[in-house]
Amino acid sequence: MEAEVPFRYTRNRGDPFFWSETRTMRNFRFYFGIPTLLLLAASASMAQNNCSAVPPTGTCTAATAPSQAWCAGNNSSSSCPGGTSWVGFDLSSPATGSWTGQFEGLDASSILAGGKTPRPQADPNGAVGPTNSAGVGQYLEFAGNYVQAFDRATGNGIFSNQRKSGATPQWIATLFEPSGKTYCSNPSLDGIASYDRIDDVFVLGNIFDPSGSGPYYYCIGVSAPTGTLPASNLQGASYESNWNVYAYNITPALPLNPEGKSYFPDYARFGTWSDGFYVSWDLEDASNKYDIVGFEVCQLDKADIIEGLSSKAPVCYTYIPGYAGGTGGTDTSLIHTLLPADFEGNEAIPSTTAGEYFLALVNPSNTGTNSQCTVAPCTSSQLAFWTWSGFTTGAGPTLINLSKAYTPGCYNLTKPYNTYCIPEPYGGDVDGLGDRLMYRLAYRYLPAESNGEYLAVTHTVQENTSTHRTGIRYYKILAGSAPSVAVTGDIQDTTDKNFLSMPSVAMDEDGDLGITYTSTGSTKHESVSNYDPSPFFVTVDSLGNQGLPVAILSNSGASGQDETDDSWGEYVSVSADPNDDLTFWAVDEYMNGNQTANCNGSVGSGCTWASRVHTCQKGSGC
């Protein structure tokens, strides 16, 4: 029986800061400035590290590595404390059906129908796996702390409460039961569903806080083979989907603030690479309104996790700028929400690679200071770039200079940390998250091109200074030891004047980009009409030519669909199909009815959020 309450911190847009009665809270969305280019250039060329300080500043090895608290592996040779007994999800055969172009993903109604309580914040994301010779394959999705695997042929789910009982969304903590539930209960709302195309396994990961006040655990599961069936097939055998699962106590690795308290880990990001799984999270100061002071990044022992063996301790590094940490510091990060590169494609990472790559946004500041920008125009023209070897040697970021400056979406001169401006059509705003790059940082090796290693990423930017209308900025970046931008552009609605936000991007084998995003409009904010938040998709060819945006759901299918929660689609994702490496699979959030009452952490009867999985290929018109 599911009884956990997810943790996440939230901020009332008018301040003050508060805990809700259910402890269901979303993380603070602070916006921070960046120092002058001169100061940044200096920090990039030499990391001014003081790793013995409290907190440690600069790029520092975590004082204590996270510890493996528990694991269970579907492997007869496993030495995991959880033993070799079966761990995973019960299955049902998918219901018959077919779909063209799109199908319904996880939604509040199916969670309610399964006798469980949906949460108000969905944050859907997912990834597609391959099909076998019989055409069997799945799309794995996470939303609102529930997971479901959808059959590629029918678009119907297969995870169920009991074997052969019919498809029902599963609470993510179910994966870690029974013994792992000690560590992997009370999940955050920032879970990830991914597919590792290097080792052909599905992945689920999240931060958990079983007691509600720490210690914190990062729990991860990977699909495992069943007899002759590979890990890439979640259908398994005997109505069982096998998984290897791990719980890491990350609290010892969290740096301490000046009061001697651990920073709070929030907003986890994930990436797959040949030498490990990589996860990062923001470090927030619970003693000072949950200011983001920096981030932490860890490499997990992918080889042993995939084999279901007891794993080595994660290797972790923290980055807290010197001016932000310690007594008298600003306590505000200049660069945060680091994205690890996430591999896709059929071409292996070349031996000449500089290693796993990372990217973050560089935000504007008042000239010559480390303070957030409060004097217009507030623009930035840089991204912050790391390699894993850079972290291991204590290096600061390499700065990528952009030809076109940006103002972060929803930037507020009087409250720069407040990124709420995406209008709901009939009142209220949602968080535009303009202060950070959006999940994922897609990596692909294109051997036909010089150097050939590319990254793709997106974020929300301001397009109109008077109305603060937002659009999408995308980048295709030539990676390596000297990264540079190969293609960049903006997507905006100059016709209907709708706000665009919540983007995600993938790259196909030809180097073309597939980008999903949300469009929403309000006549009170310049838009031609009130337009319910709706998913769109657009492709960009390898030279930067944009295709025509395609409405996946026009006006969400009806009008008047507002919500009480102020978050929207913060982890939406796109991935390339392993079958042809050309078809993009995306998942987006939409509202299937007005969600304004009886939808909170304890009562879910009024929740109406839904997600839509859709496919598109460049030139197809979707």
Q: Could you report the per-residue pLDDT of 366-409, keeping only the tens digit for each? A: 888 877 888 999 999 999 999 999 999 999 999 999 999 999 99
pLDDT of residue 447: 94
pLDDT at position 351 is 95
**Two tokens, residue 8:** 């996440």
- What is the mean predicted confidence (pLDDT) over 439-462? 95
* 17 occurs within a structural domain: no
**Max alpha carbon distance in the chain (Å)?**
65
- Please identify which residue in the block is written with the tokens 């973050």: 360
DSSP H or E run through 518: strand 513-521
Is residue 508 within 8 Å of 473, Cβ to Cβ? Answer: no
Count, residues in the chain: 622
Nearest to 31 by CA among 287, 318, 362, 258: 362
Predicted local confidence at residue 18, as pLDDT: 24
Q: How big, in percent rounded to 5, are the helix, strand and coil portions of the chain?
A: 5, 40, 55
Quickly state the pLDDT bin for 334 (edges 50, 70, 90).
confident
Peptide bond into 178 cis (omega under 30): yes
Residue 608 in any domain: the answer is: yes
> In the chain, count of helices (H) and strands (E)?
4, 34
* Cβ atoms of residues 213 and 68 within 8 Å: no
What number is the average pLDDT over the span 211-216? 94
Strand partners, 574: 586
State yes or no: pLDDT of 550 exceeds 70.
yes
Contact 380, 34 (CB under 8 A): yes
424 and 520 Cβ atoms separated by less than 8 Å: yes
Does residue 29 carry a pLDDT above 70? no
pLDDT score of 96 = 97
Query: For 427-444, what is each residue's pLDDT tens digit?
Result: 788 899 999 999 999 999
State the pLDDT confidence band at 23, using cuts at 50, 70 and 90.
very low
- pLDDT confidence bin for 316, thresholds 50/70/90: very high
Q: What is the CA radius of gyration of the chain?
A: 22
- 67-86 average pLDDT score: 85
Is the pLDDT assigned to residue 556 strictly greater than 60? no
The whole-number pLDDT of residue 47 equals 52
Domain total of the chain: 1
Residue 123 · residue 268 · CB < 8 Å:
no
Asked whether 476 and 456 are in contact (CB, 8 A), the reply is yes
Is 5 among the domain residues? no
pLDDT exceeds cutoff 60 at 44: no
Kindly report the backbone phi and psi dihedral angles of residue 429, in degrees, each rounded to the nearest multiple of 5, phi listed first. -130, 160
Residue 527 token pair: 């838009």
Bridge-partner residues for 209, per DSSP? none
- Is residue 19 one of the residues assigned to a domain? no
User: Would you say residue 598 lies in a domain?
Assistant: yes
Instruction: Specify the pLDDT at position 129.
Output: 98
Looking at every residue in the chain, the average pLDDT score rounds to 88
Q: Lowest mean pLDDT of 201-215, 286-300, 321-335, name the range.
A: 321-335
Give yes or no for residue 46 having a pLDDT over 90: no
pLDDT at 532 exceeding the cut of 70:
yes
CA distance 243 to 91: 13
Residue 272 belongs to a domain: yes
Instruction: Determine the average pLDDT of the residues in 607-619.
Output: 93
Would you tell me how many other CB atoms lie within 10 Å of the CB of residue 48? 14
Write down the pLDDT at residue 560: 54
User: 10 Å Cβ neighbour count for 489?
Assistant: 17
Please say whether the beta carbons of 223 and 202 come within 8 A. yes
Identify whether 15 is part of a domain.
Answer: no
**Which strands form 438-445's sheet, in the order they lie side by side?**
398-406, 380-387, 357-361, 339-343, 438-445, 453-462, 470-478, 484-491
When pLDDT is cut at 50, 70 and 90, the band that residue 562 belongs to is low
Shortest CA distance to 239 belongs to which of 148, 152, 166, 132? 166
Verdict on whether the full-model pTM lies above 0.75: yes
Give the pLDDT band (50/70/90) at residue 19: very low
- Contacting residues for 402 by C-beta, under 8 A, at least 6 apart: 381, 382, 383, 485, 488
**Mean pLDDT (whole number) for 11-30:** 31
Q: Give 295's contacts (C-beta < 8 A, 6+ positions apart).
A: 280, 281, 282, 283, 318, 319, 333, 335, 336, 337, 338, 360
How is residue 178 written in tokens? 């029974």
| Token pair of 143 as six digits | 């939303």
Percent of the chain with pLDDT over 90: 71
Distance from C-alpha of 74 to C-alpha of 72, rounded to nearest angstrom: 7
pLDDT exceeding 70 applies to what percent of the chain?
90
Specify the pLDDT at position 36: 35
Q: Are 308 and 80 in contact (CB under 8 A)?
A: yes
CA nearest neighbour of 302 among 272, 277, 268: 277
Whether 337 and 436 have beta carbons less than 8 Å apart is answered as: yes
Let me know if residue 1 belongs to a domain. no
CA dist., res. 399 & res. 44, Å (int): 7
Nearest one of 379, 336, 342 to 361, comparing CA atoms: 336
Give the mean model confidence (pLDDT) for residues 11-37. Answer: 31
Confidence of residue 78 (pLDDT cuts 50, 70, 90): confident
The residue segments making up the domain with residue 463 are: 37-616
